[in-house]
Amino acid sequence: MKYLRRLLNVIAAGCLVAISVNAQNPVIRDQFTADPTARVFNGKVYLYPSHDIPAPEKYPRKDWFCMEDYHVFSSSNLTDWTDHGVIVTQEKVKWVNAETYSMWAPDCIERNGKYYFYFPANVKSGSGKGFGIGVAVADKPEGPYTPQPEPIEGIMGIDPCVFIDRDGQAYIYYSLNRIFGAKLKENMLELDSKPVVLGEFPAKGLVEGPFLFERKGIYYMTYPHVENKTERLEYAISDNPMGHFTYKGVIMDESPTGCWTNHHSMIEYNGQWYLFYHHNDYSPKFDKNRSSRIDSLFFNEDGTIRKVLPTLRGVGVTIATDKIEIDRYSHISQTGASIALLDTTNTFRGWKTRFTGQNAWARYNTVDFGKKKLKTVQVNCSSPAGGTIQVRLDKPDGILLAEVKIPAGTGWKTTEARISKYQKGTHNLVVMTKDDKPVEIDWVKFN
Ligand code: FUB
């Protein structure tokens, strides 16, 4: 029996490694992934999110966060993500109170070829209400990770962020309503200074999820903060990793749809900066089940950060011969175009684009049409009255690639049409209605 269970585990782990999940936003599409910390290791991007799950029967707090383990994902193009499976689970960490499902926002950092994964969780001893921060160590970014037997001594708090300065000094930041900072010893497992409150951050409106990075000699302390109703992302800068920090502004406004938390990280990858953050895309009615998103981040000449507008399109290049989900649009027409979930009972099935008027359009940026001539386009759609869709390049009045007459009827059908004019290279794709017959589209694909 034991052998059989072990065999099944091995097979399950193998399956996880093989799963490659598509972008765009949200980037991980088969499970909830909150609090995304991204790191670049060995030329690849590794994503260490926390893992929201629907509350199991034995967990009484149905209206609260519920998290029992962590996965790690990797990508070299920010578009295709590989799930490396579970790296740390509450059941296997001695000091964690596994009744609380409290494996909150983590971080990971490399030092001297070892990878240190930091995670907060409710400790077993004491009142059972306090959070400690644990460390698990691995030889590779994707693990296997071995948790330390005890949390870091001297810290009670959540949302660790670890930073190694150019001089080799490591720092840990975390929060407990305020932001704390301390030095870490070379072993990355123990404090090298007493944690202090970085007092320049707001004392009102929960401040959590600190993320510190350095760029061109400026230390950026970035953090979610509730100024009005929900968390927005703000930042402050300093010439020292322990401050004093000067407030500079808002990086991302409060969620337009009311997701209470936002938690983020930033990386530079292949010369471009990216903001990783979360939103309750797959759980519109319960904002404790969140999903990771990515959008590009830009700096002004003076080092200040430009505000990021959250998008559904996200980042990365989409290959024309893949299924292009235009519901993750870059822009849509002001009237006649919208999106909806494909299946409200299984939100992970994703979304569809709805067109309800003539000349309604959705533009999906950065599609790579490759070097070879593509001959046909397929549209997976449904149109009770049989509408006609135009597929164009770059803009609504751009080159007409194909016209697709959709047969009248209910249910999803894939209709194919020949491409009349074709251009190679990377373009924006526009899908639009020729008439006013309602059409729903799941995906578009070139062959
Ligand atoms: O995911 C649980 C908690 O919600 C995180 O630790 C916070 O940053 C917030 O995102």
Write the DSSP assignment of 312-361 as a string of letters.
SS-SS-EETTSPB-TTS-SEE-SSSEEEEES-TT-GGG-EEEEE-STT-E
Residue type, 335: T
- The arithmetic mean of pLDDT across residues 349-372, rounded, is 96
pLDDT surpasses 50 at 86: yes
131 close to ligand 1 (CB < 6 Angstrom)? no
Q: What is the pLDDT of residue 13?
A: 39
* CATH homologous superfamily for the domain 318-446: Galactose-binding domain-like (2.60.120.260)
Q: Where are the domains of the chain?
A: 5-297, 318-446
CB 21 within 8 A of CB 71: no
Q: What is the DSSP string of 105-167?
A: --EEEEETTEEEEEEEEEBSSTTS--EEEEEEEESSTT---EE-SSPPTT---EEEEEEE-TT
Q: Report how far residue 432's alpha carbon sits from residue 153's, in angstroms, rounded to the nearest whole number.
A: 59
| Region of 231 on the Ramachandran plot (φ > 0 left; ψ -120 to 50 alpha; else beta) | beta
Q: Whose CA is nearest to atom 8 of ligand 1?
A: 209
Ligand 1 probe mutation, 101, 158, 211, 277, most atoms within 8 A of CB: 158
Q: How many helices (H) and strands (E) does the chain have?
A: 1, 31
pLDDT number for residue 355: 98
Pocket of ligand 1 contains residue 265 by CB under 6 Å: no
Confidence of residue 394 (pLDDT cuts 50, 70, 90): very high
Any ligand 1 atom below 6 A from CB of 209: yes
Q: Work out the pLDDT band at 118, boundaries 50, 70, 90.
A: very high
User: Quick one: pLDDT at residue 21?
Assistant: 40
Q: Using one digit for the tens of pLDDT, what is the confidence trace for 30-56?
A: 999 999 999 999 999 999 999 999 999
What pLDDT, in 10s, does the model give residues 235-268? 999 999 999 999 999 999 999 999 999 999 999 9
Indicate whether 280 pLDDT > 50: yes
Which of 19-23, 297-301, 329-333 is predicted least confidently? 19-23
How does pLDDT run across 146-204, given as a tens digit for each residue?
Answer: 999 999 999 999 999 999 999 999 999 999 989 999 999 999 999 999 999 998 998 88
Whether pLDDT at 9 is above 70: no
List the CATH code of the domain at 5-297: 2.115.10.20
Ligand 1: centre distance to CA 70 (Å):
13
Q: Is the CB of 261 under 6 A from ligand 1?
A: yes
* Confidence (pLDDT) at 422: 78
Residue 423's pLDDT is what? 81
**pTM above threshold 0.85:** yes
Q: Note the pLDDT of residue 203.
A: 85
Supply the pLDDT for residue 10. Answer: 36
Q: Which residues are catalytic?
A: 35, 208
Q: Which amino acid is at 245?
A: F
Output the average pLDDT for the chain.
Answer: 93
Q: Give me the residues paired with residue 379 across strands.
A: 415, 444
Task: Point out which residues pair with 38 in neighbouring strands.
Answer: 47
> Quick one: which of 419, 322, 333 has its CA closest to 366?
322
